[in-house]
Structure 1
């Protein structure tokens, strides 16, 4: 099965617009996460005064830990949101009145 065609509701050109839109949204989400990681970890781990072109060992270790923590927190938040959603019984807002 092709990613961009032969699925539900292809257009006259054979491209499935729904899948293209989903892929575009996913790419935007991944790009946003990447940019947030770069911004956050760069600010925390790399001195604004560049002394050399390559990362030193301390900076490298800091970035590795920063990225790992970012993904771990992201995973925990996602799990917590799923648990809250399940506890709400499918209530779209997650709140009960």
Structure 2
């Protein structure tokens, strides 16, 4: 039972397992991209020995630029994949074997 949603809304809508799996896959991929950006930018911009309680201006600017580069790269890769790979299902290769594909049921 959900305390946050009206029960009539929960009962009237069917849960689509395929969409749920896609959403989980996208969330996991986004979380992993964020984690990789964080680790890389931390390693690149913040010294391993902390001398101050807060970031100095140089560290802040470096981290900001680093994260922006990761986000732009992620956006460009996503756009490229949408325009090329997913435009034609035959180009998807290994993705054909994912349980998300209706043809494998």
The TM tier, using the shorter chain, reads: 0.5 to 0.7
Q: Please say if 1:54 is aligned against 2:54.
A: yes
* Equivalent-residue separation in structure 1 for 2:73 and 2:35 (angstroms): 16
Gaps of 5+ in 1: 9-15
Give how far 1:40 is off.
Answer: 0.7
CA RMSD of aligned residues (A): 2.7
1:1-97 counterparts in 2 under 5 A? 5=10, 6-8=12-14, 16=15, 18=17, 24-85=24-85, 86=87, 89-91=88-90, 92-93=92-93
Runs of 4+ in 1 over 6 A off after TM superposition: none
* Equivalent-residue separation in structure 2 for 1:26 and 1:78 (angstroms): 12
Residues 1:90 and 1:7: Cα distance change in structure 2 (over 3 Å)? same
Give how far 1:22 is off.
Answer: 5.2
The structure whose residues are more often helix, as a share, is 2
Greater RCO structure (CA 8 Å; 6+ sep) = 2
Aligned partner of residue 68 in structure 1, secondary structure: helix
